[in-house]
Amino acid sequence: MISILICTYKRPALLKTCIESILNQNANYDFEIIVIDNDPEETAIKIIEKYNGRIKYFLQPLRGLSHARNMAISKASGEIIVFIDDDEYADKNWLSNMIYCHKKYQADVVLGKVEYEIPSTFPLYIRQSSYFKRKSRITGEKATFNDGYTGNTLVKRELFNLRTPAFLLKFNHTGGEDSEFFNYLLSKGANIVFSNDAIIYETQDQQRLKITWFYKRGYRSGSTYAGNLFQNNNAIIASIKLVYSIIGGLIFSFILVLGTLIMPYKYFIKMVVKLANQFGKLGYVVGLQIESYHYNEIKN
């Protein structure tokens, strides 16, 4: 049995598209779909009711992705857990390719490919931005520190027994709970690999029209990176690595500034995110975190 988990918050139309893409998979596997609604108003329930019991629905009134993900795991009955976000929909061969990669490479975790779908109505500086070009991965390539995410991910159920809760509650309002969890699994020797064939498509919503959204995302990413450094190293080693990371990040940011002057549409957003990332690293050190993170803003 495979359990496919979807955590959702106030995005019923996108959730419906996500569910339909799962139900239409070219896959001969037994699977269940579990939806965790993180909205106390239960905005997802009208969508779920249309499937006549085919979808398992649970309300998690405690806000935050860690709360939602931990509940989803507790409700799952499968030996294999697969995460997909409510603003994503899957290629028809997505699940088959996930399972194939899991078996071929004896993987504890498989990180699938995410392709961004940007509406044609969005401005050029978003549609043409290099920010939306993810690093190319080869199927079977091993993941390293800070590579993990839950937007398109297969995990062996037994790994969630390594600690309780699996996703730490301190990340509920800042994001980064998934990155921290997979770093933890790496420290325990888990075999985490990429699949370039298990593809999902992420729909960009109206929040991506705000430059502040990109800044906040970059800041939180930097803060999470710094936190993971100090969690996995002693203070001296972590401090040295953080300094090198900030210096390197600032140099790259300066290059992006020059690139923005030449090709603003391509590099502007990436420059904003990269600069914010360095501020986030410094912010972690001095205790400045952005905690007003709404559920549907948290992405990996």
Return d(Cα 173, Cα 66) in angstroms, integer.
9
Per-residue pLDDT of the chain (300 residues; tens, 9 = 90+): 999 999 999 999 999 999 999 999 998 899 999 999 999 999 999 999 999 999 999 999 999 999 999 999 999 999 999 999 999 999 999 999 999 999 999 999 999 999 999 888 888 888 889 888 888 899 999 999 889 999 899 999 999 999 999 999 988 877 789 999 999 999 999 999 999 999 999 988 777 788 888 998 899 889 989 988 998 889 999 999 999 999 999 999 999 999 999 999 999 999 999 999 999 999 999 988 776 444 444 444
CB 57 within 8 A of CB 75: no
Give the per-residue SS3 of the chain. CEEEEEEECCCHHHHHHHHHHHHCCCCCCCEEEEEEECCCCCCCHHHHHCCCCCEEEEECCCCCHHHHHHHHHHHCCCCEEEEECCCEEECCCHHHHHHHHHHHCCCCEEEEEEEEECCCCCCHHHHCCHHHCCCCCCCCCECCCCCCCCCEEEEEHHHHHCCCCCCCHHHCCCCCHHHHHHHHHHHCCCCEEEEEEEEEEEECCHHHHCHHHHHHHHHHHHHHHHHHHHHHCCHHHHHHHHHHHHHHHHHHHHHHHHHHHHCHHHHHHHHHHHHHHHHHHHHHHHCCCCCCCCHHHCCC
pLDDT the model gives residue 171: 86
At residue 10's C-alpha, the angle toward residues 9 and 11, to 5°, is 95
pLDDT the model gives residue 291: 60
φ and ψ of 24, to 5 deg: -100, 25
Burial of 166 (0-12, 13-18, 19+ CB in 10 A): buried
Burial of 132 (0-12, 13-18, 19+ CB in 10 A): middle
CB 205 within 8 A of CB 17: no
Domain annotation for the chain: domains and CATH numbers: 2-207 (3.90.550.10), 209-297 (no CATH)
- Radius of gyration, alpha carbons of the chain: 19
Return d(Cα 266, Cα 127) in angstroms, integer.
9
pLDDT the model gives residue 289: 77
pTM of the model: 0.86
pLDDT the model gives residue 120: 86
